[in-house]
Structure 1
Amino acid sequence: MTNSWSEIWNLRASLYGFLANSLLDPIQGDNTVFTQKFWRNFPLDAANDQIKSGLEQLILCSASLEELSEEKAIENVMVEYTSLFLGPGHPKAPPCESFYRNGERLFFGRTAFAMKETLYQNGLESKRKNKQPEDHIGIELMLLSVLSSQLIGLEESKQVSLVKEQLFLIDEHLLSWINEFCEQVKLHGSTGFYGGLIELAWGILLWDRELLEEFMASNEQVG
């Protein structure tokens, strides 16, 4: 690794913040994300198959969107977002962990309450409480972004407990369901944009897990 840990924490915060904001609401305003150039210049190398495949899908999708007017491109992606994550009726790919973690396919299940407690313990609260489960993928990713920002400027010895918390969050509240979620998004997507985005997020989580394990190992050697 050639980057300093401070640079890595900044990159992680930026990546997770971008993913979270892209999934909490339909993308509006920043239409550069619908261009091939944006994804070809993505600030992370294809460290695993999921990142590689996700970026390839996003580049392919962007090539199709660039053939449309800006208004039509936004409309198509917004229709996909609504159909997948909101409805009408039952969303085709619910973006909440509890839906995939229990046999009854329920919202506001056990993991939603666990995430609510995790937010509380970190002095945080969802602005969408009582309307959107706290185990929404966007909220879970945003929490990772916030926790990564908190690492910046801390002594490495004080970073260990925060890194452990993030490893737990990645393992127990994201990697445990994002593969099935990704399958549903790809199966029911219309433009392919969100299928590529979720697969990219999956790959970033896998990359990040290895990175955090490397950090923990280096601190164990120092200790």
Structure 2
Amino acid sequence: MMTKTWAEVWSFQEQLYSFFANYLLEPVQEQNKEIVTEQFWRQFPLEAANEQIMSGLEQLVNFTSKLDEQDMINSIEEVNVEYTELFIGPGVPKSPPWESFYNTRKKLFFGTTAYVMKDLLSKQGLESKHSGRQPEDHLGLELLYLTVLTEQLHNEDIQRQVNIIKDQLAFMDEHLLSWIPNLYDDAKNNGSLGFYSGFIEIIWGTLLWDKELLEEFLAEYEGKEELLEK
């Protein structure tokens, strides 16, 4: 692991997941305009730990460098047009941000995973403001759920941390990583700009990277357990 404490790693991941979730759940606002600038992505505090992170960052840097040549209002408008086309519609979105669309044969918008996610969110005291109108298995909501699990790692004893991390890994495998590659492909093939395909690719890479770190934590714990047993 990097020369950081586990608590620092978890805090960083919380910030990342919350950031990603917020920009998936809502289009870019005037007060958050820095996200469409080249400088923002050149200074983004994420190491290129894998191919997806490296590729996503490169794509966003290249795209926003072109946006910097025009008026900021126009830049935000262009990015938000892509957001609408990919994630909202009209009609069927070109890159639906809901797990059930990708994990059901009939491409349902309120499939089983939508109700599974609604239950998981409810157990954490969370509720989507679009409940009943949009499925709860939206990528942004799944990332917020992961944020909540990560927050719970602080101030817990080691056994409880291990249990939470096992829940995180299972959630990543069963939900997020089971469909985000397909979502990325749709965003890449149907995006008018390429901003959101780069954004989704970074999220994909972050999940893969975080999974490695969580598995490393479990390996350290299991190694200590073996030493205590000897």
Q: TM-score, normalised by structure 1?
A: 0.97
**What residue is the counterpart of 1:57 in the other structure?**
59
1:123 offset after TM fit, Å? Answer: 2.8
Aligned length: 223
1:59 offset after TM fit, Å? Answer: 0.3
1:63 offset after TM fit, Å? Answer: 0.6
1:124 offset after TM fit, Å? Answer: 2.2
Secondary structure in 1 aligned to 2:108? coil
1:27 offset after TM fit, Å? Answer: 1.3
In structure 1, list runs of 5 or more residues that go unmatched. none
Secondary structure in 2 aligned to 1:119? helix
Q: TM-score, normalised by structure 2?
A: 0.94
**What residue is the counterpart of 1:205 in the other structure?**
207
Instruction: Give 4+ residue runs of structure 1 displaced > 6 Å after superposition.
Output: none
Please tell me whether Structure 1 or Structure 2 has the larger radius of gyration of its CA atoms. 2
1:84–1:94: 8 Å Cα contact kept in structure 2? yes
**What residue is the counterpart of 1:87 in the other structure?**
89
Task: Tell me, yes or no, if structure 1 residue 103 matches structure 2 residue 109.
Answer: no
Identity %: 52
Task: Tell me, yes or no, if structure 1 residue 31 matches structure 2 residue 33.
Answer: yes
Q: Which moved more, 1:14-23 or 1:144-153?
A: 144-153
In structure 2, list runs of 5 or more residues that go unmatched. 226-230
**What residue is the counterpart of 2:144 in the other structure?**
142
In 2: Cα distance, 1:35 partner to 1:16 partner: 20
In 1: Cα distance, 2:19 partner to 2:155 partner: 22
Secondary structure in 2 aligned to 1:196? helix
In 2: Cα distance, 1:164 partner to 1:118 partner: 15
In 2: Cα distance, 1:126 partner to 1:158 partner: 27
Counterpart of 1:33 in structure 2: which amino acid?
I
In 1: Cα distance, 2:157 partner to 2:43 partner: 32
1:154 offset after TM fit, Å? Answer: 2.0
Secondary structure in 2 aligned to 1:175? helix
In 2: Cα distance, 1:7 partner to 1:154 partner: 15
Secondary structure in 2 aligned to 1:128? coil
Task: Tell me, yes or no, if structure 1 residue 219 matches structure 2 residue 221.
Answer: yes
**What residue is the counterpart of 1:72 in the other structure?**
74
Task: Please provide the CA RMSD for this pair.
Answer: 1.0
In 2: Cα distance, 1:69 partner to 1:86 partner: 25
**What residue is the counterpart of 2:14 in the other structure?**
13
1:121 offset after TM fit, Å? Answer: 2.4
